[in-house]
């Protein structure tokens, strides 16, 4: 059976939101056909919609509308605009949900109410606005807005924008990849991946915050300048807070200094935090957001590959102590994550490559297709050069790797926000990895330490009969092909063992490891024999 031809985007919104005008503009720029459901219905029934309403009533109209929309969702390769009330029909909601599951983009065009009402009144011919048009519009908006928000997976604010500006924003957003993170104890949020993702900062923050603390490091000044400009254009008061780079920024002293700033500048519970930078910066920003007034809204703008695939998503926030990494922290989910691939253009090769350690980890524990992509593109990935990265086929590969890696993390986080079971599997390679980082005084980057930690976990699993030697060798070969380290020989076993006993997975005096028993299948290994733990360590020393 041939696969359905799906629209590139479906546009929904209130009457007067500009769905037809903006949709036509999007289609024109993208060189795609455009279809308006209302126009197609009039062609099918042979009369204008107001006349059809008057003769047959709204239920008959909604039935015709739902059937036509279902047909177009299965057989139209373009931009498709729906009538204002169409998403209120249950069968259309189901059809749109199926379309989204197949990778579709349902765009809620959220216009300024005053602008939309004025356009709706000017257009005329709207049977749903008979009587006091503005009062009817407001009543319908109150009914429809929550439904539109739940039906759509792309939300575009168009207040004060020209149709051309709104169209460019729609194209920007539908061209990006989105991973929706949800769960029983999680406020749902989206991870947007692609060029221009940071442009949606105000959309994610919303209109409640007055003040925004922009927490970033000095090396990402170019990107923080852009974020600050976007925030100020949207009317927020911005407090610019620069923190030390990398792990030296994740301390109680740095956090305390930020709390003092927030207090002095009058930050309230309705204000917000934006964390911009690598994984350490987003960890700290999230921790500050979680603890200030017991929790304020925050958005992560990761600027490194590692932060995009790991630290920015999942709601783990924290700081380091002299005794270990991330021992103080909170589970607190962001309002959104904006992984703008433009920021990768300024990334040095070695910092990009360390991020591949976390990408490979997600492949080993949950998505073998990640490993296939890494194998197929290992040479290009290892030779990454930010200066000529954007707009190349490699950018699409990296976007897919980010999307797949975040999806693996989202599946684990959704089922186990507070790391009591399934989420611990995300720590594959981390038991030794964290020990290496500590013993190297954080001179080793996280992704590199995790790469060695995965080889260690594979060796341990092999010694104990969980996997065969071929899978251990595959770990070593794949990671080395990406430019990641696979051995470490600068510390004593006793020092490593003491730190592994402090690992968050440890239970009492018993060590606990995460190991594979096959690719994509992870198990807990509790209290393994001491001689096996030592032998695996000896094997990663050469």
Q: Which residue numbers belong to the known binding site for Zn(2+)?
A: 358, 430, 446
Structure tokens at 104: 């579709």
Return the number of other C-beta atoms located less than 10 Å from residue 422's C-beta.
14
| Backbone dihedral angles phi then psi of residue 532, each to the nearest 5 degrees | -70, -40
Which residue's entry shows tokens 């976990």?
Answer: 457
Cα gap 440→219, rounded to integer Å: 22
Length of the chain: 542
DSSP state at residue 307: I
- Write out the binding residues: 16-21, 38, 62, 84, 126, 144, 245-250, 279-283, 303-304, 316, 325, 358, 430, 446
Nearest to 528 by CA among 520, 505, 541: 505
- Write out the binding residues for NAD(+): 245-250, 279-283, 303-304, 316, 325
Question: Which helix (H) or strand (E) is 291 found in, with range?
Answer: helix 279-291
Contact between 482 and 378 (Cβ < 8 Å): yes
Q: How many angstroms separate the Cα of 502 from the Cα of each of 413, 437, 497? A: 23, 14, 9
Q: What is the CA radius of gyration of the chain?
A: 26
Cα gap 539→429, rounded to integer Å: 15
Give buried/exposed letters for 501-538 (b at 16+ CB in 10 A, else e).
Answer: eebbbbeeeebbbbbbeebeebeebeebeeebbeebbe
Return the number of other C-beta atoms located less than 10 Å from residue 333's C-beta.
24
Which residue's entry shows tokens 């792309």?
Answer: 154
- Write out the binding residues for Mg(2+): 20
- Write out the binding residues for substrate: 38, 62, 84, 144
Structure tokens at 70: 């279902």
- Write out the binding residues for ATP: 16-21, 126
Cα gap 281→431, rounded to integer Å: 22
Contact between 216 and 243 (Cβ < 8 Å): yes
Residue 436, judged by CB atoms within 10 A of its CB (0-12, 13-18, 19+), counts as buried
């Amino acid at each position: 059976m041939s696969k359905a031809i799906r629209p590139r985007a479906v546009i929904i919104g209130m009457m007067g939101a500009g769905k037809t005008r903006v949709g036509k503009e999007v289609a024109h720029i993208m060189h795609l056909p455009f279809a308006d459901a209302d126009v197609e219905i009039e062609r099918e029934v042979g009369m204008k919609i107001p006349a059809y309403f008057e003769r047959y009533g709204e239920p008959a109209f909604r039935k015709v509308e739902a059937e036509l929309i279902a047909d177009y969702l299965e057989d139209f390769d373009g931009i498709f605009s729906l009538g204002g009330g169409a998403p209120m029909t249950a069968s259309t909601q189901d059809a749109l949900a199926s379309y989204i599951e197949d990778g579709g983009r349902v765009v809620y065009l959220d216009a300024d109410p005053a602008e939309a009402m004025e356009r709706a009144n000017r257009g005329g011919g709207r049977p749903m606005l008979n009587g006091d048009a503005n009062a009817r519009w407001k009543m319908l908006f109150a009914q429809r807005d929550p439904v539109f928000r739940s039906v759509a997976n792309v939300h575009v604010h168009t207040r004060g924008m020209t149709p051309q500006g709104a169209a460019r924003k729609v194209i920007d957003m539908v061209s990006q990849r989105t991973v929706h993170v949800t769960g029983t104890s999680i406020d749902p949020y989206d991870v947007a991946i692609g060029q221009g993702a940071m442009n949606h900062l105000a959309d994610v923050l919303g209109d409640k915050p007055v003040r925004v603390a922009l927490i970033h490091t000095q090396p990402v000044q170019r990107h923080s300048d852009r974020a600050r400009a976007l925030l100020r254009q949207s009317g927020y008061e911005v407090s610019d807070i620069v923190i030390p780079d990398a792990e030296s920024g994740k301390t109680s002293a740095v956090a305390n200094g930020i709390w003092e700033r927030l207090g002095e500048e009058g930050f309230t519970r309705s204000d917000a935090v934006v964390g911009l930078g690598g994984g350490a910066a987003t960890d700290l920003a999230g921790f500050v957001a979680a603890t200030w007034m017991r929790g304020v809204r925050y958005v992560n703008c990761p600027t490194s590959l590692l932060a995009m695939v790991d630290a920015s998503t999942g709601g783990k926030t924290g700081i380091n102590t002299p005794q270990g990494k991330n021992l103080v922290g909170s589970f607190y989910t962001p309002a959104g994550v904006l992984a703008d691939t433009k920021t990768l253009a300024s990334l040095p090769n070695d910092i990009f490559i360390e991020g591949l350690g976390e990408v490979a980890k997600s492949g080993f524990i949950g998505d073998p297709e990640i490993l296939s992509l890494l194998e197929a593109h290992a040479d290009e990935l290892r030779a990454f050069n930010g200066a000529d990265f954007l707009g190349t086929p490699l950018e699409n590969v990296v976007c897919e790797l980010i999307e797949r890696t975040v999806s693996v993390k989202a599946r684990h986080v959704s089922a186990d926000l507070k790391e009591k079971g399934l989420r611990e599997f995300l720590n594959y390679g981390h038991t030794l990895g964290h020990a290496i980082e500590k013993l190297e005084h954080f001179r080793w980057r996280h992704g590199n330490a995790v790469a060695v930690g995965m080889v260690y976990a594979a060796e341990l699993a092999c010694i104990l009969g969980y996997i065969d030697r071929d899978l251990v060798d595959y770990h070593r070969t794949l990671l080395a092909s990406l430019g990641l380290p696979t051995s470490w020989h600068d510390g004593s076993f006793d020092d490593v063992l003491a730190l592994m006993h402090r690992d968050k997975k440890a239970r009492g005096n018993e060590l606990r490891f995460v190991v594979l028993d096959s690719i994509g299948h992870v198990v807990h290994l509790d209290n393994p024999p001491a001689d096996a733990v030592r032998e695996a360590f000896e094997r990663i020393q050469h």
